[in-house]
Amino acid sequence: MRNLLLWLCSVLALPAVSHTFYSLDTASEQLGQGFELESGMPKEACLNGVWHFQGGSQGDLAYRGAFDSQTMINTIAGSVQGGINLVIFGGSVKFSMRRKVTENNNSAASVVELGYEKGSYNFEQRTVKADYVQLLQTDPAAVRASCGDSFIHNVRLGSKVYLSAKLHFRTKQEYEWFQTKIKIKVLFFKKTITKTKEFLKATENAVYSVQVNTDGGMTPKLAALSAGGAMHCKTDNLDPCIDYAERLFAYLLDGGDYAQDLSDEHLNVLSYEVESYQDSGHYELAAAGSNPIPERYMGLSARLRAVQDMVSDEIERLQAFMAVADTAQDQQYYAARLAERQSQRQSLDTASDYCATLPGTTLCESRIEAAIAQVN
C-alpha cells in the first residue's frame, strides 16, 4: 500500500505534458475530442465537460519575407518538438491554403500577416460519458479504439489574414535565377518606385500576383474586396495589382475598419493542445489498454501530402499564367492543363478523406496510389 501511495503521489506531482497541433479545420478537431497522439488522429469524444475561457486576447502584425509553409505553421502552433504536428489525413482545403500564402519551388513571396487571438479555452469539469463507463466494464479494448489515448484539452481561437505578393515563374530554373540575382525581395511595390533593370530582366517572363487568404477573419467587407480572387499582372504593368494591394491595406490597416468589423463569428480554431488521459487524471480511460495504429499510415500520409503540395503549387502557377495569357491558344492550353490538375487534386483530396476513416493500410494505400497514378 505504501508503495502504491508513493507512486500515486509521484504521478500527481508531475506536470501534464501537452502537444500542440496546427488545426486543419476538420470537423473532429474540437475541444474535448478524443485523440490518438502518436499517429495524430482524432477519435470519438468520450468526455463530457464545459468550455472555460482562459483569456489572452491580443493582436499582431508581421512582415514575412521568404515565407515558407513550415515557418507559417510554426508561427501559429509555436515551436513543436520533432517537427510540425498535424492530423495525418483530412483537412485538405486548409492544408493547400498554406501553399497559396507561401513561396515554393516556382514562386517567391512577401507576406503581411495580420493576426488576432481572442484567447484560449480549456475543457474543464470533465467526466467520462456514461456509455463509455459501462463499456469499460465489458470491453475496454473497444473503449480504447474509440477514445484514443488522449483528448483535445485546449483550443486557441482567433484569425489570421495573409496578404501575399508573389512572383510566379515558368520554371524552377527561372525562379532560382531570380533568387540568385535579386538580393532584396520585398515584393510590395509603389508606383513611384522605379524597378531596376536587373529586376525587370529577372522577372520578364514571370507573373506578379496579390492575394488575400484567411484562417478565420473573413469579414463581409473583406470578402467583397477579395471576391475576384488573386489579382495577376505582367511585370511590365503592375499598376492594377498595386491598386488592389492598396485597397486591401486601406481596409486592413491604415486606420481602416477591419478591427471594428471583426467579431467572434469570424474566428477559427488556430491550434489546439492534446493531453493524455493519464496526465489529466482519467485513469480509467488510460488503463483501457493499447490500440496502436499502424505506422504505415504515417508514411502514406507523407507521400500523399507531398503530391498534394506539388499539384497545389502547379494549380496556382497555371492560374497565374492563364490570367495574363495574350492569345486564345495560350488561354486554351492553360485552361485544359488547369482542369486536369484540379481533377487530380480532387482525387487526392478524396483519398485523404477516405484514409482519415482508417479503413486499413492496404485499402488506404490502394486509394492513394490510384490517385497519385493520375498525376503527370
Kindly report, residue by residue over 71-81, the tens digit of the pLDDT.
Answer: 776 665 554 44
274 & 307 share domain: no
220 & 139 share domain: yes
Q: Which of 256, 290, 324 is the last residue of a domain?
A: 290
| Predicted pLDDT of residue 16 | 56
332 & 283 share domain: no
Residue 9 lies in a domain: no
Residue 2 lies in a domain: no
How many domains does the structure of the chain reveal?
A: 2
> Containing domain of residue 332, as a range?
294-376
306 & 282 share domain: no
Q: Is 150:48 a contact under the CB 8 Å cutoff?
A: no
User: What torsion do the CA atoms of 363, 364, 365, 371 make, to the nearest 10 degrees?
Assistant: 110
Residue 5 lies in a domain: no
Q: Which DSSP symbol is given to 104?
A: B
If you write DSSP's letter for every residue of 26-76 in order, what string do you get? -TT--TT-EEETTTTEE----EEEEEEEEE--EEEEEEEES--HHHHHHHH
304 & 188 share domain: no
pTM score of the predicted model: 0.85
- CA–CA gap between residue 31 and residue 274 (Å, rounded): 9
Do β-strands 231-234 and 18-22 pair in parallel, antiparallel, or remain unpaired? unpaired
Phi and psi dihedrals of 138, rounded to 5?
A: -110, -30
66 & 155 share domain: yes
344 & 218 share domain: no
Task: Extract the runs of DSSP E, i.e. beta strands, from 242-302.
Answer: 268-276
308 & 225 share domain: no
Sequence-distant (≥ 6) Cβ neighbours of residue 376 within 8 angstroms: none
Of residues 253, 267, 182, the one with CA closest to residue 218: 267
Query: What mean pLDDT value characterizes the chain?
Result: 87
CA 134 from chain centre, in angstroms, equals 38
195 & 312 share domain: no
* pLDDT tens digits for range 88-134: 888 878 778 878 888 888 899 999 999 999 999 999 999 999 999 99
256 & 127 share domain: yes
- CA–CA gap between residue 96 and residue 77 (Å, rounded): 17
Q: Which of 241, 256, 290 is the last residue of a domain?
A: 290
Residue 208 lies in a domain: yes
| Predicted pLDDT of residue 66 | 66
